[in-house]
């Protein structure tokens, strides 16, 4: 979409507003200056389009915020006697509005205790003073306000109170979602829920929020932030998370989105030396790469090979690693490739024993019986203990961290 000028953007938003007013039984906007609540309602309509995946609406939102900012700066304090205009100021503030404009608009207004606490909390939140916002928000009950204001207030309150009480913060974010389903408020609440559930160790809430977001908001322009939080959360909760639930959440994604998530997981698992997660993520990334294209994906192949370095088929793995085209990898992944090549080479290298070595295997290790067992006084040069291999991989991958 080509950038539009402010007049065109406003005309488009107001056309949608006129339709919404007609459906609601309200008269169309009269000639003359638009009321602040009419402009903010247009902003909310644009935000709904963003939540639905309309990336072209992002510049429209930015321009509308600028136009609304100018409108509030020129507003007479008497205009805020209209409750809808006051509520519009609150929505504007919590939609990324200018804190200075909000503060200036509130000057001289006679507010009741309910509105005073809410506006104080919002202003402190906009200024980045979370502690003061939390104090002011302690007495705020979002649902006493109009529904669109209530949804935003629940989102803000949930975000700030979570610093002291994660459970209360998560509960408030749930309320925000219930008050504004399908909107940018619900989209943001799910992303914040995902982030808060990780330090709380709430695996069930984390996986449920991931599934809900994947079902509803993968087309959002903020989906990349979700993906980052999702991958980070999986790795933090790896000892307790059900990988089947991870697959369930990812199954709602496009093949390209799914492959990206699994590749990020595989890379981090490779660096961390987490062979279980690496094997899972690299296998799934390979499957998704096959879905996206018949061409081989260099990163998928690399991570799958790293996960197999400690296997009995290490000779074949080394051949794949040597043949791999490093030019198709990022500089960080090239470091992983070199580490994997080094490990695989050392694993298959013959062991040089002293001529007088007659001792058997160390007492802490046992030699399996059967046709492949090494004879007394010898060490099979192609077999190294899995523990030794893993320790070497951990060391080399640790050195490859940026």
pLDDT tens digits, 186-216:
999 999 999 999 999 999 999 999 999 999 9
Confidence of residue 391 (pLDDT cuts 50, 70, 90): low
What distance lies between CA 58 and its chain's CA centroid?
19
Please report, for the chain, the start and end positions of each structural domain, with discontinuous segments joined by +. Answer: 1-77
323 pLDDT more than 90: no
Spatial contact of 332 and 402, defined as CB atoms under 8 Å apart: yes
Spatial contact of 259 and 300, defined as CB atoms under 8 Å apart: yes
Print burial letters for 272-304: b (CB count within 10 Å at least 16), e (below 16). Answer: bbbbebbbbbbbbbbebbeeeeeeebbbbbbbb
The reported pLDDT for the residue numbered 272 is 82
| Residue 390 Cα distances to 54, 227, 400, angstroms | 46, 29, 15
Q: Within a 10 A sphere around the Cβ of 398, how many other Cβ atoms?
A: 12
Who has greater pLDDT, 234 or 395? Answer: 234
177 pLDDT more than 90: yes
The reported pLDDT for the residue numbered 4 is 42
In this structure, of 27-36, 61-70, 75-84, the range with the lowest mean pLDDT score is 27-36
365 pLDDT more than 60: no
CA-nearest of 388, 281, 277 to 343 is: 388
> Could you tell me the maximum CA-CA distance found in the chain, to the nearest angstrom?
103
What six digits make up the tokens of 73?
């700066």
313 pLDDT more than 80: no
For Cα atoms 152, 158, 160, give the angle at the middle one, nearest 5 degrees. 105
Q: Go through the chain and tell me how many residues it has.
A: 402
The reported pLDDT for the residue numbered 7 is 44
pLDDT tens digits, 280-303:
988 888 887 666 554 446 776 676
The reported pLDDT for the residue numbered 171 is 96
What is the spatial distance between Cα 240 and Cα 169, in angstroms, rounded to a whole number?
23
Spatial contact of 285 and 263, defined as CB atoms under 8 Å apart: yes
């Amino acid at each position: 979409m080509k950038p539009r000028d402010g007049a065109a953007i406003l005309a488009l938003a107001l056309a949608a507003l006129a339709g919404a007013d007609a459906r609601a039984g309200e008269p169309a906007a009269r000639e003359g200056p638009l009321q602040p609540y009419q402009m903010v309602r247009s902003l909310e309509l644009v935000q709904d389009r963003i939540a639905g995946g309309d990336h072209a609406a992002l510049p429209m939102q930015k321009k509308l915020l600028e136009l609304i900012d100018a409108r509030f700066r020129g507003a007479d304090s008497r205009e805020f006697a209209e409750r809808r205009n006051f509520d519009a100021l609150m929505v504007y503030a919590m939609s990324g509005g200018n804190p200075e404009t909000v503060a200036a608009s509130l000057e001289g207004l006679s507010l009741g205790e309910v509105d005073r606490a809410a506006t104080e909390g919002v202003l402190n939140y906009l200024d980045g003073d979370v502690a003061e916002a939390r104090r002011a928000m302690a007495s705020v009950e979002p649902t006493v306000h109009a529904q669109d204001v209530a949804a935003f207030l629940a989102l803000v309150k949930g975000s700030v109170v979570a610093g002291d009480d994660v459970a209360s913060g998560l509960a408030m974010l749930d309320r925000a979602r219930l008050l504004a389903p399908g909107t940018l408020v619900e989209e943001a609440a799910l992303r914040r829920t995902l982030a808060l559930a990780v330090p709380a160790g709430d695996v069930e809430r984390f996986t449920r929020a991931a599934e809900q977001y994947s079902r509803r908001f993968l087309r959002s322009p903020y989906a990349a932030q979700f993906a980052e939080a999702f991958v980070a959360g999986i790795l933090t909760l790896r000892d307790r998370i059900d990988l089947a639930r991870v697959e369930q959440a990812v199954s709602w994604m496009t093949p390209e989105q799914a492959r990206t998530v699994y590749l990020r997981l595989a890379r981090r698992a490779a660096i961390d030396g987490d062979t279980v997660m690496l094997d899972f993520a690299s296998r799934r990334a390979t499957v998704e790469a096959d879905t996206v294209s018949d061409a081989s994906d260099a990163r998928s192949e690399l991570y799958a090979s790293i996960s197999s370095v400690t296997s009995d088929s290490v000779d074949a793995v080394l051949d794949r690693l040597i043949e791999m085209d490093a030019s198709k990898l990022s500089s960080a992944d090239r470091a992983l490739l070199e580490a994997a090549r080094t490990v695989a080479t050392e694993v298959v290298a013959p062991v040089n024993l002293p001529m007088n070595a007659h001792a058997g295997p160390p007492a802490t290790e046992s030699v399996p019986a059967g046709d492949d067992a090494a004879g007394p006084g010898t060490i099979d040069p192609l077999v190294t203990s899995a523990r030794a291999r893993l320790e070497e991989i951990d060391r080399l991958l640790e050195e490859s961290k940026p």
